[in-house]
Structure 1
């Protein structure tokens, strides 16, 4: 049997604050909170969670790995506005303006995208 994805790990300065942002953004909850690790997930039995680990250096360049989020097409703009209200900001990573996705950054500057639903990809 091959290995399976367990956690996506995000380095953070404010573990609890960033974990709360992502938990609220995804509709997840904090599953475990320790001094040097905070884990969020849909629930305790979810196959994948996000783990926040402390780091001392500041983020300096564009992420080499990022998360893509999606919402139903008719709710996409409202979800982007909700994420911005939670503390995200719009990010410029060199996009042309013609993309079908919107690039945002979380409160610590980690880029992520809000993309169209997979069902829209076949059209």
Structure 2
């Protein structure tokens, strides 16, 4: 075996707000806070080192220039894509236009700070 992704770090203006958003989206819980204001969230009962990576929302005052070179893809686990899209929009996600043709089977969204992520079509089993 080689390496495995254990954490994803996202610089953000408001770690509290994004931690709450992503906890709701992913069913994660807060795992810890650092003195610098970073908040780590992850799967309940597993945390760091579990089967899914944790997210660290790290405070930053540096403005982001342009599109992030990496984005998150999510899949619904307990409902179809349309129902999940409605849930994500109610949580504060917004549709994003990155040049889609309209024939894609995924939705491009942004979180409350404008970070792009995609809602894919296929339902997968929760971990």
Q: Which has the higher strand share?
A: 1
- Tell me the TM-score normalized by structure 2: 0.84
Correspondence list, 1:51-66, <5 A: 51-66=56-71
Q: 1:17 to 1:51 in 2, by over 3 A?
A: same
Correspondence list, 1:34-49, <5 A: 34=34, 35-45=36-46, 46-47=50-51, 48-49=53-54
Instruction: Point out where structure 2 has 5 or more consecutive residues left out of the alignment.
Output: none
The answer as to whether partners of 2:80 and 2:123 remain within 8 angstroms in 1 is no
Correspondence list, 1:58-97, <5 A: 58-71=63-76, 75-97=80-102
Q: How many residues align?
A: 119
- Tell me the TM-score normalized by structure 1: 0.86
Instruction: Point out where structure 1 has 5 or more consecutive residues left out of the alignment.
Output: none
Q: Which ranges of 4 or more aligned residues in structure 1 deviate by more than 4 Å?
A: none
Q: Which has the higher helix share?
A: 1
Q: Per the alignment, in what secondary structure is the counterpart of residue 99 of structure 2? A: coil
The answer as to whether partners of 1:19 and 1:40 remain within 8 angstroms in 2 is yes
